[in-house]
Structure 1
Amino acid sequence: MATPEHRPDLRASDADREAVANQLRTASEDGRLDVDELDDRLAKVYAAKTYGELEPLTADLAPDPPPPPSALANWRVRWGSWAATSVLLVGIWAIVSVTSGDLTFFWPIFPIGFWALGNIAAMISGDDGTQSERSEGHT
């Protein structure tokens, strides 16, 4: 599909105009446009016939922020770090057991187990780790 920067002479659809209007409304809500400027730009949006007429109306606005990381990605990181640390701890335990010539007490069960319980508790409570990231960005 052609985009405004590649083919500014192509005619814009109603959906294209509405997308630009929504971007302008969001910019106004964020305080990047005042009411008069929003009204002026919206009038130009709905009068625009081509992508080339739409592009300058949002050129000075920051692009939309990237979407927050998905809950699944956060859980992969959470359980992945748990698994990597678990392997490391079991490796340390194995080296100590081999070098001592006797199987020592399996102490890694405590950090591995408590960390897993914390992850499970977070899953049950619905805490996917995204809330703290969202609140950190809005101070």
Structure 2
Amino acid sequence: MNGRDGMRAADADRAAVADRLRVALEEGRLDLHEYDERLQRAYAARTYAELESLLGDLPPVTPAQRSTLATASAGASAVGPVAGQPDQVSGRGVTARWLADLWLPYPQVILVVVIIWAVTSLLSQDLLYFWPAWVAGPWGAVLLVRTVTGLSAGEPRRQAVERERKRQRKRAKRERKRELRRR
């Protein structure tokens, strides 16, 4: 063990390892469970050796321009554009879709609950206690916290990358089926 391995790591070192693990997750090198385990170990690490052991089986990050794989896999990139579609994995469209997926059920359910309250108030011919606030308030607060934490953690991009991987898997599966039918 050289002198650096035994030295204590700083919070910035732990954050850098966490960022590298996130990139490995987005690249598909780690599954979500393994990412979570390594992330916990990264934030619990005390020395450089402990941090380096978390990255030992991961290749170093190479910018796409200098990567030898970038030219060979440009057509099959999970982050790159899909044939006939704009690159939406990085941009406002991804964030807007993530926010819509997160928030759209909220007004729909609140509308149903308010209609139920209004109908029961009309049928009873009395203005009843506005109980839908007990549905809307806590749920809205949870959604707000989820939105802030998700945006700060890069959740829209991660979800878009995963969605694109699923599309590519489906396309590959369809191609395999077509190939089998041709034979």
TM-score normalized by the length of structure 2: 0.36
Q: Indicate the structure whose relative CO is greater, using CA pairs within 8 Å and at least 6 residues apart.
A: 1
TM-score normalized by the length of structure 1: 0.46
